Structures are given as C-alpha cells and as structure tokens.
Chains A and B, each alone.
Chain A
Amino acid sequence: MISDVLRQLKKDFLVEFRSRAAVNTALAFAGIITLSISLAAGGTPFSTLVQAVFLWIILFFSAMNGLLHIFTREEEEQTSLFLSLNVPAEAVYLAKLVFNIAFFLVIEMVTCPLFIFFLQVTVKDIILFVMTVLSGGLALASAVTMLAAMTARAGGKGSLFTVISFPVVLPVIWVSIGATVESLQGSSGDAWNSVVFLLAFSGAVTAISFLLFRYVWYDE
C-alpha cells in the first residue's frame, strides 16, 4: 500500500510540476484578490473579524479549483481507468489526499504573507495563527478530497463542486474564522479547542473517506 501511494504521489507531483495548471491558477487568484481588497480598502483598517473572514474566503476560493483539479484532470485526460487498474482505490485516495494537503499548504504559504502585508494585519499570537491556518487547511483539504472525487466521477465541474462542498466545509470555515480572530486579537481563550476540533474533524473525515472511497472510485 505505501509503495502504491508513493508511486502515485511521485506521478501526481511530476504531472503538476510539468503542467503547473492548478498551482499557477490558485496563486494568481490569491494574489489578485488580496491586492484587490487592499486597493479597494485604500488603507481603511478592518476589524479583526473582517480580516479573518477575508483570509478564509481567499484561501477557500483560491484552493477550490486546484483541489478539484487533481481528480478532474484524470477524467478529462482519460487516465482514471489507467490509474484504477494500476493502483488500489485506497492508495489512490491517500495519495490524492496528501497531494491536496501539500497543495493547500503551498497556497497558505503564499497567501498568508500577502494577506498580512497588503491588509496591514497585526498578528498578536503567531503560534495560534499558524496552528489555526495549518489545521484549518488540513480540515478543508481532507473534507474536499472525497467531494472532488465524487464531483469528477459524476462528470461535474467547479460549480457543482463548490455547491456540494459548502455544507461540509461550513463548520470548518466557521471555526477557523473564530480561531483566527482570537489569534489576531491575542486572546487565545478557547481558540486551542478550535484547533483540536479542526484536527479531529480532519481525522474523522479522512477515516470515513478512506473506508468509502472505493464505492465512489469504481463504477458500480
């Protein structure tokens, strides 16, 4: 199983590195939207709640297209059958999940500094902020990987993906925004519970998705 996951991960990273289809689009979107908000605000200071909402909206919409792309590319290029015959379904899921987590991490590493710089954000509790962004990203990537597979297998595109993702990712974004506000204000209070919730959410969703993935992946 591990060798199958590594074999597929290597393939996915090579394909993405050579085409750069998903990451370039996501980074361009993140940069443009952050800059647009900054220019539109014209130096007006936002409340910490508005700043946190902006951060998660930028992260969510920047990443959505790329997170879906990992599965839709297999369908569009007619390689999903080739993949199905050569790699067990569980290994496909784990490799796509790891890829999506790494992808979201790259988006966060680029978006967060831009967000802090252009929106003149002051982070009072850096450790909590970093942990919130990482655990929120992990939860989002975990939740949408299975949904991306379902959307791609149904022949759906981005619009369907965003619609069916919304109810699943709403609690993640809600909790992440709350914890981000606390990290910006420096009043950590219950925010660490939010980080624990996000990590637990990721674990639960990953476990369920791992067990159910073959029913989505294979044509029943």
Chain B
Amino acid sequence: MPVIIEGTNIAKKFNRKTLFRDISFSLSAGQSLAITGRNGSGKSTLLRIVAGITSPSSGSMTYALNGAALERYNFFSHIGFISPVMNVYEELTGLENLRFVGGKKDDDAHLAILDRFELRGHENKAVRLYSSGMKQRLKLACCFLNDPPVLLLDEPGMNLDRKGRDIIYSYLDSVRENRIIIIATNENEEAALCRGRIDFDQ
C-alpha cells in the first residue's frame, strides 16, 4: 500500500512563542524518522501535527495513499499512533479494548497480538488493574493491531522492561520495509531504529 507523507515548512507557535519552524520532510513506505530533542522542544507536538491531530501554525501536511490525496481526518484510519497522553479505556478489559480498535476482526487476531505482547492470561482483566508496563504493551498492541501503513510512536518504550522493548524493536524490524515509521523519543536506542532524524537540539 504505497503511502506518502509530506510536511512543508511546518511551524508551531503557542501564543507568541515559536516552538519550531521550517520543518520539512517527505517520507514514503520503507522510510523512518526519529524526532529527538530536550523536554519541551516540541517532539510530541510535531508528531501530533504529522498525525493530523493538531494543526500547524503555518506550513502544511499532505497525505497520499495509492496515489490519491487524503484529507487529514480520513488519514486517521491508516495510522497507528501511541502517546503518553493517550490512554485506552481502563474500565474495559484488554480484549474489549482490542475489539473496539479491531472492529470486525475476529478474536483470533486479538489473541494473537496479545500473545505477541505477552499479555495472554490478562485479556479478561480490566485495564485499571494492569501495571503501567502492561498498559503500555496494550497500547502498542492496539496501535499495531490493524497493520497500519504509518506508525507514529511517541516514546514507545516508556514504562517497558527490557523484554517489552525487545518486542517492539523486533516488530518494527519485521515491518519497516513497507511502513513509514516516525518515533519521537529521548532514548538513543529508539532513535537508532530510524534512518532519518530531526534533532530539535541542533
């Protein structure tokens, strides 16, 4: 599924303060980008702009799938997004959250991804009873469930132990050839997974 994301002269201001400006990039399937920088430099904001969740103050984002331009809201169904400020439903079980994301997918697919993230055995437990690491694993499972062609990951390794991080890295390695991957992170290990980089500290 050929997918292209282009950002042109993206800038973001909050009140009168310019967070960043003149950010341009073009990514197609198989390419990846790390967004790094100190706290408050705008990594998460840029990722939200790329996802179409937040509008830039100036500049533009364009999205294309199979040669056809897409409106940003129609692009949502083609991205897998994870962020520290986005939660799954804590009153639902892990399996119910995956059913909510998966739509018409059958439970075999849900159980398979739970298996991959080593959450089998916890699928019928309310998410509010999960540890923070288990919640992060479930968020990643929801993010990857529908095999989206674009993966936008904001601090994907947060709260994860070594094994949890290895699961993500091996997943990203297995899909990188036909996906766009953008990771906003402070961790060098995560940034090294990507071939390109925007560093807000430079």
Q: Which residues of A contact B (CB under 8 A)?
A: 3-4, 7-8, 11, 14-15, 18-19, 77-79, 81-82, 84-86, 88-89, 214, 218-220
A3-B104, A214-B73, A219-B54 known; A81 vs B92 contact (CB < 8 Å): no
- Docked-complex contact B81 and A7, CB < 8 angstroms: no
**Chain B residues within 8 Å of A11, by CB:** 89, 92, 96, 100
B: number of interface residues (CB 8 Å): 24
A85-B81, A219-B55, A220-B55 known; A7 vs B87 contact (CB < 8 Å): no
B79 at the interface (CB under 8 A from A): yes
**Chain B residues within 8 Å of A79, by CB:** 86-89
Interface positions of B from 29 to 63, Cβ below 8 Å from A: 51, 53-55
- Docked-complex contact A81 and B83, CB < 8 angstroms: yes
B101 at the interface (CB under 8 A from A): yes
Q: Shortest beta-carbon distance, A9 to chain B, in Å? A: 11
CA distance A19 to B96 in the complex (A): 16
16 intermolecular pairs with C-beta atoms under 8 Å apart: A3-B104, A4-B103, A7-B100, A14-B96, A77-B87, A77-B89, A78-B87, A79-B89, A81-B81, A81-B83, A84-B53, A86-B76, A86-B101, A88-B73, A214-B73, A218-B73
**Chain B residues within 8 Å of A82, by CB:** 86-89, 142
Minimum CB distance partner of A81 in chain B: B86
- Docked-complex contact B86 and A18, CB < 8 angstroms: no
CA distance A3 to B100 in the complex (A): 11
Given A77-B87, A84-B53: 19 more A-B contacts, CB < 8 Å? A3-B103, A3-B104, A11-B89, A11-B100, A15-B89, A18-B91, A77-B89, A79-B86, A79-B87, A79-B88, A81-B83, A81-B86, A82-B86, A82-B89, A85-B51, A85-B53, A85-B79, A85-B81, A88-B73
Q: Which residues of B contact A (CB under 8 A)?
A: 51, 53-55, 73, 76, 79, 81, 83, 85-92, 96, 100-101, 103-104, 126, 142
Minimum CB distance partner of A18 in chain B: B91
**Chain B residues within 8 Å of A15, by CB:** 89, 91-92
**Chain B residues within 8 Å of A86, by CB:** 76, 100-101
**Chain B residues within 8 Å of A214, by CB:** 73
